[in-house]
Amino acid sequence: MRLAVCGIDAYAYTGTRAFDEALPTVVFVHGAGHDHSVWALQSRYLAHHGRNVLAVDLPGHGRSAGEPLTSVEALADWIAALVVAAGAREAALVGHSMGALAALECAARSGDLVRRVALLGPAVPMPVSEVLLDAARRNDHAAIDMIVGWSHAPHALLGGHPVPGLWMPGGARRLLERSRPGALAVDLAACNAYAGGIDAARRVACPALVVTGQRDLMAPPKSAQALIDTLPDKRVVSLPNCGHAMTVEAPDRVLDALAAFL
């Protein structure tokens, strides 16, 4: 589905379903350097189980035009504008990593639009190492190698993709390689600079779900604890033996958590 958000062409995967105003809407927001395809299984399932799904490509990512947005606050406002542009009165937001920060901030800023918010692999704050930031700024492939290495549980770096025949580290590497030059650096800088996470958590009025991976090195579970402690209405799902790339490493467990919450 293509739609104009803030006057700029945007793409959202819908699971090959037409938007139905009578159905509840779920917006999926990807992480740094990614696109809608990281949600392939979860978004397709919900699209075929009674929801409108909008798995977005953020500006400057995937099939969406424009430049990558430079702050989590700007991403939050863009998500709210997308919900309106799609014609939904309200939506549940599901975000992963950087997308979780954007969903959190959006839920705090646009409470009237956000019915529920699911935060996968969040860290508040989300500091990014200078080594990674520097490599990303230089579009150095080392940035991708670092992210792939840190984003998977150790066993996942040797494969075991739940989708038959796919090689998990290879898919992760190639998706990041396909992001536009500079987009990853902008995303990581936005994560690194975001300081409003705890304040946003206090202002979230809707129910929240936090999903953490017990083997997550990018956003270790302890880095989400302050967020969890602050959210007024929350539930927490901790995925054993799962890294940061949880939508790919454990698609069914993520889907089960989302389906039960949404």
- Kindly tell me which of 104 and 128 has the beta carbon lying closer to another protein: 128
Q: Which backbone phi and psi does 7 adopt, to 5 degrees?
A: 80, 5
Map the footprint of another protein across residues 76-135, applying CB under 8 A. Answer: 129, 131
Nearest Cα residue to 247 out of 63, 56, 78, 36: 36
Does 169 sit near another protein (CB under 8 A)? yes
Nearest distance from C-beta of residue 11 to another protein, angstroms: 8
Binding mask 179-218 for another protein (x = CB under 8 A): --------------------------------------x-
Cβ proximity to another protein: between 114 and 128 the closer is 128
DSSP single-letter state for residue 58: P
Mark 21-55 as b/e (b = at least 16 C-beta within 10 Å).
Answer: eeebbbbbbbbbbbbbbbbbbbbbbbbeeebbbbb
Helix axes of 40-47 and 251-261: crossing angle, nearest 10 degrees: 40
Q: Which residues inside 133-162 make contact with another protein, applying CB under 8 A?
A: 142, 145-146, 148-150, 155, 157-162
Q: Give the phi and the psi of residue 253 in degrees, each rounded to 5.
A: -70, -35
Cross-strand bridge partners of residue 239:
213
CA-to-CA distance for 102 and 178, rounded, in angstroms?
22
Q: Is 164 among the residues that bind another protein (CB under 8 A)?
A: yes
Rank residues 2 and 89 by Cβ distance to another protein and give the closer one: 2
Q: Which is nearer to another protein, 74 or 146 (CB)?
A: 146
Residue of the chain from 50, 138, 166, 205 that contacts another protein (CB under 8 A):
166
CB of 136 to another protein, least distance (A): 14
Q: Which residues contact 57 (CB under 8 A, 6 or more apart)?
A: 10, 11, 12, 30, 35, 36, 63, 64
Residue 108, CA distances (Å) to 63, 168, 185, 188, 217 in order: 27, 34, 25, 21, 27
Give min distance, CB of 40 to another protein, in A: 6
65 binding another protein? (CB under 8 A): no
Binding site residues, another protein, CB under 8 A: 13, 16, 35-37, 40-41, 44-45, 48-49, 62-63, 129, 131, 142, 145-146, 148-150, 155, 157-167, 169-171, 174-175, 177-178, 217, 251-252, 255
